[in-house]
Every structure is written in C-alpha cells, then in structure tokens.
Amino acid sequence: MGAALDIRDLGVSLSDGDRGFALRVPELRIAAGETVGLTGPSGTGKTLLLELLGLLRAPEPGGVYRLRPAEGPARDLAALWTGRGGLAPLRGRLFGFVPQTGGLLPFLTLAENVALPQRICARPDPGLVTDLIARLGLDPVAGLRPERLSIGQRQRAAIARALAHRPRFVIADEPTAALDPENAAEAMSLLFETAARSGAAVIVSSHDLDLLKRFSLTRYRLEIDPDHAPGRPVSRLIAAADGREAA
Ligand SMILES: Nc1ncnc2c1ncn2[C@@H]1O[C@H](COP(=O)(O)OP(=O)(O)OP(=O)(O)O)[C@@H](O)[C@H]1O
C-alpha cells in the first residue's frame, strides 16, 4: 500500500523584482492517519509548503506530487494543475484547513461554521457536526457568532470545521500562534485526538518546537541553504533527526 501523499523533487519559486525565494522538497511521504510536525525559522517557507501540499499553490513542472484518495486510484497532480478543472473539488474533498486565527465566517454561528464544509461538498452530516462540537467542548457556545467567542473557542471551532467533511488530510498553519501556552497545548492535543478518531493525517506547522515535541510526530524542518545567491534564498525540507522523533 503506497503513501496517502507522496512528493518527490517538488519545488516552488517566488519572484518579486530583485527578490526571489525558492522552496525545494526532495522527498515527503505521508501515510494515512500520520501526524506530521513542521518547524523552521520565520520566512523559511512553512506557509508556502502547506499551500503546496493543500493544492493552493502550483508547483514548478517536473516534480512528483501523488495523492491517493481513500477510494480509487492515486492521482498525479501535475496534469491537474495544467488543466485546473478538477483541482478545486479535489481540494475541497480531501483537505481540511486550520488557519492561524480561526478564519470563521462572522455572520454564521459556530455550528453553522462547522457545518460549512459539508454544505460545500454537498455531504450533510448533522450528527458529525454535533459530535465534533461536543468533543471539542463547544456545546455551550454552539449557537453563538464568532465575535462572542474567545480566541481559544474560535480555534477549537476551526479544528471542528476542518474535520467536518471527513477530509483525508488536515493542514494546520501555526494553529496555536494566537493562544497562550496552556490553551495552545490543549488545542494541539484536541487537533491530534479528533483527527486520529476520524483517520485524517495532520500536517501542522509551528514555531514552538517544545510544544511539538510533546506529541508523537514525524518531524520535518525547513532550512535555508547556506550558499544561496544574494537576495535569493533557497529553503529545503529536511527530516528532523531520525525523522520519527517521539516526545
Ligand atoms: N513574491 C515573492 N517574491 C519573493 N519572495 C517572496 C515572495 N512572497 C513571499 N516571499 C518570501 O517567501 C518566504 C516564505 O514565506 P512563508 O510565509 O511561507 O514563510 P514562513 O516560514 O511561513 O514564515 P513565518 O514563520 O514568518 O510565518 C519568505 O521569506 C518571504 O519573504
């Protein structure tokens, strides 16, 4: 059985006048249900990598990005990026996203926000919405709009929303950056716990290496190559230590 996600020699380059930035991913394989932690100093391309993984950013031609849905054959995405047509439904179905600060829609209640991905994918499952809200301790505030929620409650709602359509992967970009240490640890462990129950793989980026080390994760980091051209850094994805450090 192959990996759920398999990347080889994939890259993205950004350019902005004299300034350039390149991200190189020599190899990244993620198994179904695996939990992956991504670290790296500011500006090394963590967000860019998560955008690449989540089909929000086109890779340069030439590399391999293969996705294996739960059912059906593996999909090689290079062709889909040139056609674009099939990409949005695939992204919507296979991925759930947890942004840094919740990203909830202000005019919907918490419960309606959680149910939104199900509506978008035309897969209503009110039972799962109720279950996720309960598991994340959000019952008492399920009928409130985001402005009346604490930052921690918004982040937990974002975690519930990311899992509501039973995605194969959850991509979380510094999901605890706005939380205090206690709430950060709680949100992170709820993210892993709820994803594990639904069998979703999680790819989470964080500046907080100590926090990531508390969990049993496959860890990767991004590092700038020391001998890059001036103004044109090249960042590379590297498996951390043995690549499977448990806390
Ligand atoms: N259009 C562009 N041209 C050149 N470089 C760019 C462009 N847009 C962004 N960059 C650079 O891309 C790099 C990667 O940015 P990214 O936001 O992915 O980093 P990050 O590791 O997530 O940072 P942080 O931890 O601060 O959120 C940054 O160094 C940024 O300066």
Residue 245 belongs to a domain: no
- CA atoms of 38 and 168, how far apart (whole Å): 18
Residue 31 belongs to a domain: yes
Residue 129 belongs to a domain: yes
Residue 247 belongs to a domain: no
Residue 246 belongs to a domain: no
For atom 11 of ligand 1, the residue with the nearest CA is 21
**Is 47:173 a contact under the CB 8 Å cutoff?**
yes
46-55 residue pLDDT tens: 999 999 999 9
Q: Which two tokens stand for residue 100?
A: 């840094």
Number of domains in the chain: 1
Confidence of residue 84 (pLDDT cuts 50, 70, 90): low
> Which ligand 1 atom sits closest to the C-alpha of 15?
3
Mutate to test the pocket of ligand 1, among 24, 44, 205, 220 (most ligand atoms within 8 A of CB): 44
24-66 residue pLDDT tens: 999 999 999 999 999 999 999 999 999 999 999 989 988 889 8
Q: Could you tell me the distance, in angstroms and rounded to a whole number, from the CA of residue 20 to the centre of ligand 1?
A: 10
**Is 45:222 a contact under the CB 8 Å cutoff?**
yes
Task: Write the CATH number for 30.
Answer: 3.40.50.300
- The full DSSP string for 173-196 is ESTTTTS-HHHHHHHHHHHHHHHH
Q: Could you tell me the distance, in angstroms and rounded to a whole number, from the CA of residue 135 to the centre of ligand 1?
A: 35
Residues 6+ apart with CB under 8 A from 15: 21
- CA atoms of 238 and 241, how far apart (whole Å): 9
Residue ranges making up the domain that contains 11:
5-239
Largest CA distance in the chain: 55
Buried b or exposed e, range 30-45, using 16+ CB within 10 angstroms: bbeebbbbbbbeeebb
* Amino acid code (one letter) for 229: A
Residues lining ligand 1, Cβ inside 6 A: 14-16, 19-21, 40, 42-48
Instruction: Specify the pLDDT at position 12.
Output: 94
Q: Which of 3-12, 104-113, 119-128, 226-235: highest mean pLDDT? A: 104-113
- CA atoms of 224 and 106, how far apart (whole Å): 38
